[in-house]
Structure 1
Amino acid sequence: MTQTTPAAAPSTPKFAHVVRRAVAEGLLGEARPVVGFVDTDGVRDSVGALREAFSGAPRVLHTFAAKAAALVPVLRLLASYGMGCEVASPGELRLALDAGFAPSTIVLDSPAKTREEIRLALALGVAVNADNFDELRRIDALRSPASSSVLGLRVNPQVGGGSIGAMSTARATSKFGVPLRDPGVREAVVRAFAERPWLTRLHAHVGSQGCPLELIAAGVAETYRLAEEINESLGERRVTSLDIGGGLPVNFADDEVRPTHRDYVAALRTAVPGLFEGRYALVTEFGRSLLAKNGFIGALVEYTKEAGGRRIALTHAGAQTATRTVLMPESWPLRVGAFGPDGLPKDGPALVQDIAGPCCFAGDVVAHGRALPELREGDFVVLYDTGAYYFSAPWAYNSLPRPAVYGFRTTDAGDVRFAPVRDVQTLESIAAESGLGHADALVGLGGADGAPA
């Protein structure tokens, strides 16, 4: 099943105004041919909508999935709005701490935590969701009674997948969590809680893009039923909190935010009526739904050409920043806007064009056969709905530099204020990452002439 083909351009004029100002101020142009932008007001409004949707839950911690925008200034902005942070690696944990999140508001999820990762999280008081029974046994050995970490177990409710297999984490053979419907596993989960008084949380995450709300809610409902079963079996409220993950899909077809967090809560109330009664504290882990529509990528059109009767615009935004779109275009389509050299939206007759990137492989195309005003050298294209993942998951193919990212807000007077989020990666940094400091190491393994010793 494919996603809806996106429209050519958005209806809102706000981003168009920002593009014009970015070009005028030299933030986007020949010297900086690809740049990301984050709408800070939009992020604030998205967080507000999330909080409003869950306002009926007596106890809830909303964490932001760091993987969706692993940039310290973005994370610090979210921390200032009262969010917690979900992390899935030592690097993300470091970024969350640098961003100012209190350890008690950080949740560590990963299917392959090392002993050192677990030891550090327990020492800091970071919450940990164990992925499997072996990890629980590691925690048995590493945990100190003095640790303040909330400890949970991730379960796979095995309710099925959505339209994008790679984004579906509740299929029968998912690598994530303990598979609840496998023979004997549900009973083993109850025993694990019976043996560990410190184990007080259940965690589940069904998936994200391509997963309908009903499927996500079904996974939460199965987890809720398991919590009730554990507590009844043990004769006490051992499970006191549920981490219901995130995964709200994003509409890439047009400007409308759908589904909304309010829609999601309505689906949860239908599938799990008791979820909001206060017996369990809740944790959420939203990422894409908070950032996707609050960011865009601007890129210079370097050349245009004709091939096989098709116009191709060669730009600087390709697989190095829009990796998922290039490799899975049907699942991750992006809307494209056409702008002139002055940063103003182009008009004129629509021409079917391919929007290609700078990477050296034929498939580096971010939009195929898109009807847009004719693009020419020196124009700009804008890729919308790229505020999540497209800035923080770059591909180092061809040693292309990671692009600069700027945050912005528009004032009441209509001005645009920019602030740096990430500097463009320098060639010196690329060389250093590529082993420059060890340049002679392999030659040194041989003889004086480079031949094997």
Structure 2
Amino acid sequence: MTSQSSSPVGLAERPDTPSTWLERPSGALVRRVADAALASGLVGPDDGAVVLHDLDLLDARIAELRAAFPPHAVHTVAVKANPVLEILRACVAAGAGLEAASWEEVALSLAAGCPPERVVYDSPAKTRTDIARALAAGVHVNADSLDELDRVIEVREDHPDSTATVGLRVNPLVGGGSIPATSVASPSSRFGEKVGDDLVEALAARAEGRPWLRGLHSHVGSQGMPLETLVAAAPVVERFRDAVHRRLGHDQLDVVDLGGGATTNYVGETAVDPRELASRMREAAPSLFGPDVTLVTEFGRAVQANCGWALNRVEYVNRSLAQPVAVTHLGADFLMRVAYVPGHWQHRISRLATVADEPAEVAGTAPGTDPPEPSESWIVSGPLCFAGDVISQDARFPALEAGDWLVIHDTGAYTMSMWSRHCNRGMPAVLGYRDGADGPVLEVLRERESADDVVRQWSRGAGH
């Protein structure tokens, strides 16, 4: 695990500058980019949906993260948040590493051009083959348990020349957030070994004589995590690290991975400012920010979510019910959590024709908020053939007609990566854009899937 010696400066030293982590693409920009995409021919007549990603905002967020933390820190963006290869390449080009939750995500990371020593491999179910591949590739491996660490130690005997460093995930026991399914630092969590005196002895015994066993990993959860909980984990890890070093009689654990989990601003939630997070962590655990420690982060949603948005065409309008229904092309296949757990996950939905006129915080899916012109309450349904395929029960728009385009905001994370094959609809195209002197500059990041692509995916020998 190596760091980059340089880091952007300026943002961290100007606390009055608004954080890009609190921003979204403006309605005016969304309208300009959507108009350009629809006029360019990149969105064909059979495309009922297209996903767009703001690559300038992505660059700015990574730059701000790098500026907030020590210059030798390694910031790995979680592949599971958005595995589109060209977006991963953009992350790497902006100076980020990548965090992989499976061997396949390690392969994606390497294909994206990420140096192996800046890839973090996390998974609670690594096979011996997975571990052997990771050690041979030279990526940093975080063992999820002592049992897995023992397996890594055993497998590494067959890879004496491996440059890979290894860490152990610990549970700091600082509690959960507002979403139980994404909270992993409570006593009941199945991830990581619980901190305590017994673990100090166990880890020190395994680290003795193994200088490549250099890391500690802690991750408390994702979305809905209070800033205080993210910060609270740092001093727990610091004290545990000090205890292991006292037991060893020397310093060895110089790679400290504090995970990710910073909340981003979906409807009704406020994003974390990375400058405040870094400042408070430094105050709570100063030794982890010293020059002798490679500090690692694993932010995914907080980096990616607001960079993405989707165009979703209204195919039919159903006014036969008490509440009108807009039948669209993106539903539970794209927004799985919204459809199945709507109480915890809500996305703003706007009508493209009026999106540029909306105040920044007007949200079509937020109860009690209306666009600035008269509107009515709509159910927005997806294209799948089950009753739960609904992405909003109360989206407020001016009158909709078939052929209108809706904008689903904040879709840059945990949408394409969670795509459901229920009903076997092909994934939409993904377009990236940057600001140009003559308007938005668009590029295809991933082609739309065809019916043939889906057939191949389900065929014998798929992937060969």
TM-score (norm 2): 0.86
The aligned amino acid for 2:235 is A
SS in 1 for 2:184: coil
What is the CA–CA distance in structure 1 between the aligned matches of 2:113 and 2:178, rounded to whole Å? Answer: 37
SS in 2 for 1:27: coil
Q: Which residue number corresponds to residue 226 of structure 1? A: 240
Tell whether the 8 Å contact from 1:103 to 1:125 is kept in structure 2 after alignment: yes
2:341 paired with 1:320: no
2:40 to 25, 41, 45: 25
What is the CA–CA distance in structure 2 between the aligned matches of 1:341 and 1:190, rounded to whole Å? Answer: 61
Q: Within 5 A, what are the aligned runs for 1:230-249? A: 230-249=244-263
What is the CA–CA distance in structure 1 between the aligned matches of 2:240 and 2:199, rounded to whole Å? Answer: 12
SS in 1 for 2:225: coil
2:126 paired with 1:101: no
Question: Following TM superposition, by how much is the alpha carbon of 1:374 offset from its aligned partner in structure 2, in angstroms?
Answer: 1.8
2:431 paired with 1:411: no
Tell whether the 8 Å contact from 2:110 to 2:116 is kept in structure 1 after alignment: yes
Q: Which residue number corresponds to residue 55 of structure 2? A: 40
The aligned amino acid for 1:155 is V
Tell whether the 8 Å contact from 1:167 to 1:208 is kept in structure 2 after alignment: yes
Tell whether the 8 Å contact from 1:41 to 1:409 is kept in structure 2 after alignment: yes
SS in 1 for 2:271: coil
Tell whether the 8 Å contact from 2:79 to 2:98 is kept in structure 1 after alignment: yes
What is the CA–CA distance in structure 2 between the aligned matches of 1:191 and 1:160, rounded to whole Å? Answer: 28
What is the CA–CA distance in structure 2 between the aligned matches of 1:41 and 1:422, rounded to whole Å? Answer: 18
2:86 paired with 1:62: no
What is the CA–CA distance in structure 1 between the aligned matches of 2:460 and 2:425, rounded to whole Å? Answer: 16
2:368 paired with 1:354: no
Question: Following TM superposition, by how much is the alpha carbon of 1:134 offset from its aligned partner in structure 2, in angstroms?
Answer: 1.4
What is the CA–CA distance in structure 1 between the aligned matches of 2:63 and 2:356, rounded to whole Å? Answer: 31
Question: Following TM superposition, by how much is the alpha carbon of 1:319 offset from its aligned partner in structure 2, in angstroms?
Answer: 0.8
Question: Following TM superposition, by how much is the alpha carbon of 1:342 offset from its aligned partner in structure 2, in angstroms?
Answer: 12
Cα 1:422–1:78, aligned 2, differ >3 Å: closer, same or farther? same
1:217 to 224, 231, 236: 231
Q: Which residue number corresponds to residue 191 of structure 1? A: 205
What is the CA–CA distance in structure 2 between the aligned matches of 1:420 and 1:257, rounded to whole Å? Answer: 31
Per-residue Cα deviation, 1:377-434 (whole angstroms, up to 9, x for no partner): 0101111011112122211110111111010112133x12111111111111211222
What is the CA–CA distance in structure 2 between the aligned matches of 1:189 and 1:96, rounded to whole Å? Answer: 29
What is the CA–CA distance in structure 2 between the aligned matches of 1:396 and 1:355, rounded to whole Å? Answer: 20
What is the CA–CA distance in structure 2 between the aligned matches of 1:342 and 1:20, rounded to whole Å? Answer: 12
1:369 to 384, 394, 399: 394
What is the CA–CA distance in structure 2 between the aligned matches of 1:30 and 1:350, rounded to whole Å? Answer: 28
Q: Which residue number corresponds to residue 423 of structure 2? A: 398
Question: Following TM superposition, by how much is the alpha carbon of 1:270 offset from its aligned partner in structure 2, in angstroms?
Answer: 3.5
The aligned amino acid for 2:325 is I
What is the CA–CA distance in structure 1 between the aligned matches of 2:393 and 2:354, rounded to whole Å? Answer: 23
SS in 1 for 2:327: strand
Cα 1:233–1:342, aligned 2, differ >3 Å: closer, same or farther? closer
Bigger drift between 172-181 and 193-202 goes to: 193-202
Structure 2 runs not aligned, ≥5 long: 1-23, 359-370
Tell whether the 8 Å contact from 2:262 to 2:271 is kept in structure 1 after alignment: no
SS in 2 for 1:378: coil
The aligned amino acid for 1:416 is P
1:91 to 96, 104, 116: 104
What is the CA–CA distance in structure 1 between the aligned matches of 2:356 and 2:249, rounded to whole Å? Answer: 66
Cα 1:341–1:246, aligned 2, differ >3 Å: closer, same or farther? closer
Bigger drift between 337-346 and 307-316 goes to: 337-346
What is the CA–CA distance in structure 2 between the aligned matches of 1:114 and 1:36, rounded to whole Å? Answer: 34
Tell whether the 8 Å contact from 2:28 to 2:355 is kept in structure 1 after alignment: no
2:23 paired with 1:13: no
The aligned amino acid for 1:13 is A
- Greater C-alpha Rg: 1
2:404 to 379, 383, 397: 379
Q: Within 5 A, what are the aligned runs for 1:422-437? A: 422-435=446-459
What is the CA–CA distance in structure 1 between the aligned matches of 2:313 and 2:218, rounded to whole Å? Answer: 42
Bigger drift between 25-34 and 329-338 goes to: 25-34
Q: Which residue number corresponds to residue 446 of structure 1? A: none
Question: Following TM superposition, by how much is the alpha carbon of 1:92 offset from its aligned partner in structure 2, in angstroms?
Answer: 0.7
SS in 2 for 1:13: helix
Per-residue Cα deviation, 1:238-277 (whole angstroms, up to 9, x for no partner): 21120111111101138x9732111211231342233323
Tell whether the 8 Å contact from 2:339 to 2:391 is kept in structure 1 after alignment: yes
2:161 paired with 1:146: yes
Percent of aligned pairs sharing the same letter: 37
Question: Following TM superposition, by how much is the alpha carbon of 1:155 offset from its aligned partner in structure 2, in angstroms?
Answer: 0.8
Cα 1:230–1:112, aligned 2, differ >3 Å: closer, same or farther? same
Per-residue Cα deviation, 1:2-33 (whole angstroms, up to 9, x for no partner): xxxxxxx9854111211122222233464111
Question: Following TM superposition, by how much is the alpha carbon of 1:61 offset from its aligned partner in structure 2, in angstroms?
Answer: 0.9
The aligned amino acid for 1:23 is L
SS in 2 for 1:286: coil
Tell whether the 8 Å contact from 1:204 to 1:219 is kept in structure 2 after alignment: yes
Q: Which residue number corresponds to residue 295 of structure 1? A: 308
Q: Which residue number corresponds to residue 6 of structure 1? A: none
CA RMSD of aligned residues (A): 2.3
Tell whether the 8 Å contact from 1:38 to 1:387 is kept in structure 2 after alignment: yes
TM-score (norm 1): 0.88
SS in 2 for 1:145: coil
What is the CA–CA distance in structure 2 between the aligned matches of 1:356 and 1:305, rounded to whole Å? Answer: 10
